[in-house]
Amino acid sequence: MNAPIKNRLSPRTIPGHLLQKYYKSGPRYTSYPTAPQFQSEFNLEKVQAEWLKTNTPKGKGLSLYIHIPFCAKRCLYCGCYTEAGHNRETAEKYVSALFRETDRILKLIDPKRPLEQLAMGGGTPTFLKPELMESLIAGLNQSFKFSKAGERSIEIDPRSVDDHYLDLLSELGFNRFSFGVQDLDPAVQKNVGRIQPEEKIAALIAHLRGLHQNAINLDLIYGLPGQTPESYSRTIAKVVRLQPSRIALFGYAHVPWVSPHQKELEQYHIPTPEERMALFGLAYDLLLDAGYQHIGMDHFALPQDELIRALNSRTLTRNFMGYATRRGLDLIGIGASSISSVGAAYAQNEKEVRKFMDQSENSTWIKALVLNQEDLLRRELIIDLFCNFYLDISIMGKKFGINFQQHFRQELAGLKGMEQDGLIIIAQDHLQVTDLGRFFIRNICMTFDQYLAKDDSTIRYSKTN
C-alpha cells in the first residue's frame, strides 16, 4: 500500500535529474567545522582557556550530554559508539569515571550556571541498573544547578525497561523519552537482530502517558534489509497510531568497513539508493498526511511540539544530538566518545570504554579544535541556513563586521546554479531556502564549508539525499 501523493512537494515528486545532480557525500552539520577537522595534536591549555572564558557574570546556560556506551547485544545495523558484552560491574566503574570527569570539568565551568538541558544517550542508558541510574542522577544533581524548566531527555531501548524503570526515570526528573523503534515489521526486526514487539512499545508509551509524560520521541530507520514499501507503510501507520510528539527518520548507513558487524546484513537485499528514496518518500507523505510537520532533513514533529515552535520563530539550532530548541547553550559532553562545544572550542573524549575509564588526571579529551573568527562566522551561518532555512545578511554582516556580499562573493556565485534549480532565493538582504531546497539543505550548506574545498573529506560522510 503506497501513500497517495497529495498536491504538495514531496521527496517522491522531486525531479530525478536534481536527485542525481546533488547525490553526493556531505556532512550533517551537527558541528562546524565538522568532527573530521578536530585535531589529535592540540594545545590543552588553550582549550581550557576557552572554557574558562565562558564563565562571565552573564554566562550562558549549559547543556549536558552523557554517553552510556553499553548494550546487551549489538544490533546489526548499529553505527553508534557502544560496546556489547560488558557486565554491570564495569558499568559501576564507568559511572565512577563519569564523576571524576565531572569534577575536572567543574574546575573549568562555573557550577552556578543554569543547566537547561540534560540528555542521556548511548548505547543503552538503561543498561545501568536502576540503583546505578539513581546514584548517577543524584551525583549530577549535586554537581550542577538544574534549571526548573529544564529538559531532561533519555534514549530508551524498549527491550531494556519495564514500568518500574520508567517510574524511576520520571521520579528522577526525566521529561522526554526517546524510544529506538527502527521498524515494527517482525521480519525486518529478525534480519537486523532486534526483536521488540509492537505491543511492548505501545504498553511502555501508555505507561508513560499515565505518568503525564507526553514528550515521546520515536526513532525509525529506513533502508534496512527486508523493508518494502508495503511493510514500511504498515510500520509508519502503526507509529502514527502511537502519536509520538517527534519522529526521527534516519537513513541506514551501510559502512561495514567502519562497523564490521554490518557485513552480516549483506545476506539480505539492502535497499538501493532509489529504493531508499522511495521508502523515505512514502514515510514522509504518510507522516504529513497524519498531521506531522517536517522539521528538516530526517525529523518530524506534531504542530504543538517545541521543535516546531522553534522552527517557526527561527530559533531552532543544531548540535551533536541533532536538532535542539535552546540556542546558544554551551554543550558539555561527558563519557566515552562525547563531544563538547563550549565557547569557541570543540573537544572530543576517548572513545573506548576501558581507555576512557583509565583517564589521565588532566583530561579525557583526545581531539579538540579552537575555532578562529572565520569558523565562528561560518558556524553561525550554516546553523541558520540548516535549521531555519533563512539567513539575514544584514544581521550577519553587522554581527561579524563584514560586508557579506564581498566576503562571500565566491560562495554566492557558487549558489547561482542552485538558485536556477529553484533551491534557494538570493536576495540583497537575505537568503531563503525554498521548499524544494529543504531537501538539499546539506548541499546548500556545503557551499559555505571552507574545509570541504581544502581536502577530500567528503568521503567520510553519508549521502546528502
Query: What residues line the site for ligand SF4 (CB under 6 A)?
Result: 71, 74-75, 78, 80, 82, 122-124, 157, 180
* Residue nearest to ligand SF4 according to CB distances in the complex: 78
Answer yes or no: are the C-beta atoms of 382 and 449 closer than 8 Å.
yes
Distance (Å, rounded) from C-alpha 336 to C-alpha 68?
A: 8
Minimum CB separation of residue 125 from ligand SF4 in Å reads 10
Lateral strand order in the sheet of 216-222: 293-296, 299-301, 246-251, 216-222, 176-182, 145-156, 114-122, 62-68, 330-334, 339-342, 345-349, 365-370
Residue type, 109: I
| Nearer residue to ligand SF4 within complex by CB, 75 or 357 | 75
The residue among 157 and 185 lying less far from ligand SF4, judged by its C-beta, is: 157
Nearer residue to ligand SF4 within complex by CB, 74 or 378: 74
**Collapsed DSSP state (helix, strand, coil) of residue 130:** helix
Among residues 26 and 180, whose Cβ is nearest to ligand SF4? 180
Q: Which of residues 78 and 369 has its CB atom nearest to ligand SF4 in the complex?
A: 78
Q: Give 171's contacts (C-beta < 8 A, 6+ positions apart).
A: none
Kind of pairing between the strands at 299-301 and 293-296 = antiparallel
Q: What is the rounded distance in angstroms from the CA atom of residue 366 to the CA atom of residue 378?
A: 25
Least distance from C-beta 80 to ligand SF4, angstroms? 4
Q: For cell 497510531, what's the residue? A: 241
Q: Which is nearer to ligand SF4, 189 or 388 (CB)?
A: 189
Tell the smallest beta-carbon distance from residue 157 to ligand SF4 (Å).
5
Dist CA 390 CA 60 (whole Å):
24
In this structure, what C-alpha cell is assigned to residue 368? 579538540
| Smallest distance, ligand SF4 to C-beta of residue 220, A | 12
The answer to whether 153 touches 122, Cβ cutoff 8 Å, is no
Residue 124: CB minimum distance to ligand SF4, A: 5
Q: State the minimum distance, in angstroms, from the CB of residue 170 to ligand SF4.
A: 21
Query: CB-wise, 101 or 157, nearer to ligand SF4?
Result: 157
d(CA 218, CA 225): 20
Shortest reach from residue 335's CB to ligand SF4, in Å: 13
Residue 230 sits at the vertex; the CA angle it makes with 229 and 231, to the nearest 5 degrees, is 95
At 201, list the grid cell: 512499545
Of the two residues 48 and 262, which places its CB atom closer to ligand SF4 in the complex?
262
Q: Could you write out the DSSP letters of every residue in 238-254? A: HHHHH--SEEEEEEP--
Provide the 8-state DSSP code for 363: -
Kindly tell me which of 78 and 295 has the beta carbon lying closer to ligand SF4. Answer: 78
Residue type for 317, please? T
Least distance in angstroms from the C-beta of 368 to ligand SF4: 25
Q: Which is nearer to ligand SF4, 11 or 226 (CB)?
A: 226
What minimum distance in Å lies between the beta carbon of 254 and ligand SF4? 14
- State how far the Cα of 219 lies from the Cα of 239, in Å rounded to an integer: 10
Least distance (Å) between residue 83 CB and ligand SF4:
9
Q: What letter does residue 269 receive in the DSSP assignment?
A: P
193-196 — which CB contacts under 8 Å span 24+ positions? 193/73, 193/74, 193/75, 193/76, 193/264, 194/75, 194/76, 194/159, 195/159, 196/158, 196/159
Closest CA to 26 of 442, 449, 444: 442
Q: Which is nearer to ligand SF4, 82 or 457 (CB)?
A: 82
